[in-house]
Structure 1
C-alpha cells in the first residue's frame, strides 16, 4: 500500500516587472566570483583605485579581467561600491565598524563591535552578507540599514581569522575526503585531499588545519594534522572541546622552569604572623587537589572571630614574572571531568601554594570580628604562616555537624569545638545575608564519572550544609576586603553584578504568575527576588524558576569601578579567596598588601611587552571566565550525548524547561541533561502554541504541555556532532498490532 502526504501550496499571482526591476533581479542572480575579495581590498583604501591596481593587488591574471569587471559592475549596481572616474571605492555613505563575528547554527551572524562606547544591539548579518567570514573572526562591517530595531550590515573585510585549526569527523569519499567540524557555528565542511589525510580511517575524530578559506564558488580546503581517535571516547571529546575554545593545556618551558626554581617557605619570616598554633582546617570536595582556603573560628564574650587564611600566591607569583604573565592570559582554572587545566603550574597549584595538612604554608589572613548577631565589628589583615591541622571534605563535616555520626564524632573530637563555633557563626552570617535580600539560588550541577574510557554515570552533585558553612565564611572575607579597599580608595578589580534587564524582568514576572507564584508587592529589589525563590523552594517548579531567574540576571563581571553586587545585595564585593585558580584574586591580594605596607602605586598586573590597564584586564578576565563556563557546558553536552547514545528507546522522567512554537525543551530530572521534543514528533494531535502562557494545547484532545510540568519522555535520537538529544512522548508511539 502506498501512502501519500497532501501538499499545501500557496498560490502567488504573477506581477509584471519594469525593465529596471527585471535587470536588478537578473543581476542579483549573478554570483560575483571576486566580490568578497574586491570589497576586502577596497576597505583598506581610502581613495578610489582603478581596475589595473585591483588586478595587481589581488594577484590576478589577464584572463580574469572580464569576471573582475563584471564583479565591479555588479557591486556598483548593488550600491556596495562607487565608481569615481576610472577608480572604485566603498560607498562613501556606508559607515564601517570593526567587530567580532558570532555565527549562529542557522547560518546568520551577529557582529559585536569592538568599540566599548557602542551600546547599541549587535549588528545582524544575513548569510549572504557574511563575505566568507566565519565564527569568531575579527571583521570590518559596513552598516546597511535597520531591521526590527537592530542595525544590519555586511562583511567587507576579514581583519583576522579566528579559526585556523578545527576538530571534526573525517569522511572519505573517492579521491577526496572531508571533515565535518564538531562546532555547529562553523557551517561548512573542510575538503581534504587524499594526500593530506595521514591515512585516516572513515569516522575518526581529527584535528585539521585550514589551508584555504575558499570563496563564493568553492568551500574551504585543509589537511589533517592529527588523528585523535574514536569520537565515542570521552577523553577524545574533551580534547576536541579544549581545541574548540582554544584553551591552554600545557605550560611554556620557561614557566615550568621558573616554578621549579621557587624556594618554599617553611619558617616564619619577620613580616609574617605565626598562626601555626591555631586549629586551621580546610573543607573541600573529595576530589579537590588545590586548597586555597583554610578557616578557624573562635568565640569569646565579645562575639566571634573568623580567621580566613588564603594561600599567599603573590609571594611566589610576582608581577612581570613568566608565571604571572601566563596566569593573566589564562585568567582562571578550568575544571573538566577527567582533568583540570590549572591557571598556575602544578608545583604551585598542588604543592607550594596549596594549604595541605600538616605542612607550613604562607597565607594572607583576614581576621574578622562579629557580634552575637553576626554583624561585622572589626576587620584586620596580615601575612601569616599557618599549619592546616586537618583536610576535611564537605561530606565528612556534614556528618559531624548536621547529620551526626558517632564514629566520626569520636574520630574528630579534637576539632568538634572549633567546628561547632564555625557552624554557629555561619548560621548567623547566612541569616544576615538573606535578611538583606541576597539571592539563594538552588541550581544543581552535574558531575560526570569516567572509568576505562566509558561514562559510567552523570548525576547531580550533592550540596549540603557544610558547603554553605564555607560559602558564608568566604563571602564574609570577600565583602570585608572589598569594603576595606574601596574605603581606602585603592585600585583593584571588583566583582560587580548589575541590575536585571527590564525587558527580561517583565517576562519573568509573567512566568511566575503562570506558575502560581504569589508575587511580592513593592519595588523590584534583591529581596523581591529572594522571596520568589523562597516560595518555589522544594517544589517541582523550583528548577524552572531558578533557571529563568538566572537568565533574567546580567552576567557578573570584573571592573575597577565598584557599583555593588545585586545578587548578593552587597555594596562591596570582590574575589579574594581563590588566588590559586582566579587571577582577580591575585590582584586583590596585591592591592591589600600594598595598603598594609602603605605603598602608593603597587604593581597589580603582569608587566609584559604591553601593560594592559586595569579596566582592560577586567574585561579580559571576565571573558576568560565566560570561556571557562562555556567550555564546561560544552563538555557536559558532549558527555551527555555519549552517555545516552546507546540508550535509544529508554524512558526518563523530565521537566519541561521551555516551550516554543516548534516544540518543547526538557531537562532529565536524574541527570541534568537537556533535550528537545519536536512538535513534528507529537503526532497524536495538532498542537497550538500559547505564547503568553508558555504551553502547547492539543487542538483535538485539549492536552496541555506547560512550562514546569513533569512528564515522561522516550529517547529517540542522539547526534554526536551537533550534540543534540531528541525525545518523543510515550503517547505518540503506536502499539504493535499482529
Structure 2
C-alpha cells in the first residue's frame, strides 16, 4: 500500500520527541527503496500546504508542537487580523497589525504564537506566507504627487497599492481598475502594482458588478476551450436521443419559476390515484447527457461551482447555449431529463420511488404569481387561461400540504424570515427595496424538490455507491446551551442531552413562539447558532430538514453537485450497475469535489450579499437624516445592529451614540443594559433611529437613536416620506 499523509502525521504526532529530518522519518516508515522518493515528495507537499512546517536543518514538525499555527489570514479593516488553524483543537490566533509582515487578507500563512501584552492572552506573528490569495486587486485609482495609487475595493486589503507613473496605463482618477501586484507589502512599505484593466467609472451599475466579480475572483467569461466545444452542442433534441428513455410527453407537465427566470431545470407532474395516494414526477434537465465528464465545459463548471445571481444579472455556471437552450425545459419542445417518480400516501409518506432517463415536453411555463392567483386567490381570469392545467395544480397543492405536514411531524425546521429584494430600473439603478414574497406556490415547488432530493439520496445510499451528499451537521452543544439559556428568559424550555438537541425540540419551541413579540428574536438567535450546510461524501444527515439522507439532484444547470449526483445515478441505472473502476474513481474525487463546491457556494453567497449591501447603502445615502422604525437584529459589545421595518436595511447603532448612560454587554442575553437607568437594548426590541452616516466603500450604515417627543424630527420624517411605493407585479 502506498504511503499516505496519515502515515507521516502519525509518526510526528506520536513517535517524535523533537523535529525530525526526512531521513529520520523515512527510517520510521521502513519503506522499500522505490517508495522513498515518493515519501520525500509527500513531505515537501505537506510543508507547502502548511500541514507540516519545515524548520532549519531540514527538519519537519507538526506546527502546534513548535508553537506555530498555519491557516488562512483574515484581516480586519482596522489593520489587525486572525489566523484560523485547520486543527479544530486550536482557536483563532490574534495577529496585531505590527506583526502582519508581508501577509495580506486571505493569504495562507504560518504564524508563531507568543505571549500577548495582556496577561493570559496569546497573540501571533506572521513568519511565512505559504500561498498568496491575490495576484490582482480591484479598486479605485487616484493620482498622487509622484505616484498613483489604488484604494482596494475590499477594505480588508487595508493598504493602498502604489502605482509607478509608467504603470498607470490609461487610468484616470476616480476610475475603477484591476491591478497586478508586482510586489507585496513589507513592514514599512505598501504593495506596488501595474494597472492591467480599466473597468470604468465608479457609480456605473455595470462597473459595480464587475468590481465585485473581480473582488471575489468570479470567473465571468468562458475560456476559448469552452467556446470551442459549444458548436458540438445541439440546439434541439434529436430522435436518436429517444432510445433508452421513458416517454413522458403525454403527462401534463409544467415548470414553475419566478417572473425573471430564463433557465428552467425542473418540471413537475402529478396524478391522484386510488387509496388517497398521489404520484409525483419530478423531471430534471439531463445536463450530463450534453456535458461529458472531464470536458472543457465540465472543468469550467466545476471551477465556477454554481451560478451567481446579482440583481438584474446572472453569471451562469454553464454557457447560455446549454443553460438557456437545449438544457432548459422550455414549454412545447422535447427535452431530455432524469426523472424521479415517487408515490406518497395521505400522510405524505413516500411509499415507492423509481428513477430513469426520460423524454418530456413541458405544457406550460408558469410563474409563482400565476400559480398563487389560481390555488390561493382563485382568480377566475387566470384559472380560465390555464383551464387544462388548473385541476393538476389543485392536486399539487394537496400534495404540498401533505409533505409540509410530514416534515413538520419529523421535526424539520423552517426559518421563514423576511428577506429583501432589490428592484432596479431599466438603467440598472436602484428603484426600491421590498419584502421578498414567498407564497404557497414557492412552497409547492420547494416541497417537490426536497422530496426528489431525499428520494434520490435514499436510493443511491441503499446501493452502497459513493455519493456527494448535502449535509447539515447538528449545532454545537455549547451553542445550544447558550440558546437554551437565552430562550429560558422568555419562559421557553428545551431538553438537551449529551448528544445535543433534536431538531423536533427546536421546531416545537419556534412553533410556540409564533405570533409573539419574541418570535423574530428567537428565530434569529437560533439561526445564528446553526452550522452551514455543505457538500461531503460522508453522510451525517441534514439536521435542519430532519432528514437522514439528502443530496442535491434538482438543479444541475446552476449547481455542480447536482450534476455529480446525476452521473452517479446514471452509472447505477446502467445495465450491471456501477463498475468497480468508476466506484474507485468517485471515492478518490468526491472529497475534493465536495470541498471545492462548498467553497464556491460560500463565495457566491458572499458576492451576492455584497452587491445587495452596496445597493442598500446607495439607497440610504440619499436618506441621511431621515427617521425610521426598526428592531434590533444583533447585539455586540460595541453596539446594536438595527434592521429597519419598511426598507429591509440593517445598520449599526454604536454604543458611543447612546449618551444617556454607561452600557454593558451581557453576551448570554444578547443585550446591552444601562448601568444606572437599566435601559435595555436586546435582540428583537423595537427602536426608532435616524440615519446618521453612510460609508459606501465599507458598506456601513450608522444610526443614531431617535428619542420620542422631538416634534422637529417627526416633521422631517413626514416631509421626506416617499410619495409612492413601487407595486410589485
By the TM > 0.5 criterion, same fold? yes
Residue in structure 1 matched with residue 473 of structure 2 by the alignment: 498
Residue in structure 1 matched with residue 264 of structure 2 by the alignment: 291
| CA spacing shift, 1:92–1:527, aligned 2, 3 Å | closer
Determine if contact 2:63/2:69 at 8 Å carries over to the other structure. no
| CA spacing shift, 1:489–1:660, aligned 2, 3 Å | same
- Segment of structure 1 superposing worse, 203-212 or 551-560: 203-212
The residue correspondences of 1:296-695 to structure 2 (distance < 5 A) are 296-302=269-275, 303-451=277-425, 452-514=427-489, 516=490, 518-521=492-495, 524-597=501-574, 598-601=576-579, 613-695=589-671
Shift of 1:437: 0.2
Compute the TM-score of the two structures, normalised by the length of structure 1: 0.83
| Cα RMSD after superposing both structures | 3.1
Shift of 1:377: 0.9
* Whole-angstrom CA distance in 2 between matches of 1:386 and 1:93: 61
Determine if contact 2:101/2:185 at 8 Å carries over to the other structure. no
Determine if contact 1:348/1:354 at 8 Å carries over to the other structure. yes
Determine if contact 2:112/2:124 at 8 Å carries over to the other structure. yes
Indicate the SS of the match to 1:613.
helix
Rg bigger for which structure? Answer: 1
Residue in structure 2 matched with residue 246 of structure 1 by the alignment: 217
Residue in structure 1 matched with residue 90 of structure 2 by the alignment: 120
Shift of 1:660: 2.6
- Segment of structure 1 superposing worse, 529-538 or 361-370: 529-538
| CA spacing shift, 1:371–1:736, aligned 2, 3 Å | closer
* Whole-angstrom CA distance in 2 between matches of 1:83 and 1:231: 49
Shift of 1:176: 2.5
Compute the TM-score of the two structures, normalised by the length of structure 2: 0.83
Shift of 1:228: 2.8
Which residues of structure 1 form unaligned runs of 5+?
A: 1-42, 48-79, 85-89
Shift of 1:207: 2.2
* Whole-angstrom CA distance in 2 between matches of 1:83 and 1:97: 17
Determine if contact 1:321/1:606 at 8 Å carries over to the other structure. no
- Segment of structure 1 superposing worse, 141-150 or 247-256: 141-150
Determine if contact 1:108/1:125 at 8 Å carries over to the other structure. yes
Shift of 1:460: 2.0
Indicate the SS of the match to 1:372.
coil
1:109 maps onto 2:77 in alignment: no
Shift of 1:364: 0.5
Shift of 1:734: 8.1
* Whole-angstrom CA distance in 1 between matches of 2:679 and 2:614: 33
Select which of 141, 148, 155 maps to 1:170. Answer: 141
Count how many residue pairs are aligned between Structure 1 and Structure 2: 653
Determine if contact 2:627/2:689 at 8 Å carries over to the other structure. yes
Residue in structure 2 matched with residue 54 of structure 1 by the alignment: none
| CA spacing shift, 1:511–1:672, aligned 2, 3 Å | farther
* Whole-angstrom CA distance in 2 between matches of 1:490 and 1:148: 53
* Whole-angstrom CA distance in 1 between matches of 2:63 and 2:251: 73
The residue correspondences of 1:31-180 to structure 2 (distance < 5 A) are 94=66, 96=68, 98-113=70-85, 119-144=89-114, 152-180=123-151
1:229 maps onto 2:200 in alignment: yes
Indicate the SS of the match to 1:731.
coil
Shift of 1:711: 1.5
| CA spacing shift, 1:275–1:486, aligned 2, 3 Å | same
- Segment of structure 1 superposing worse, 170-179 or 422-431: 170-179
Shift of 1:406: 1.1
* Whole-angstrom CA distance in 2 between matches of 1:108 and 1:578: 40
Shift of 1:331: 0.9
Shift of 1:692: 4.2
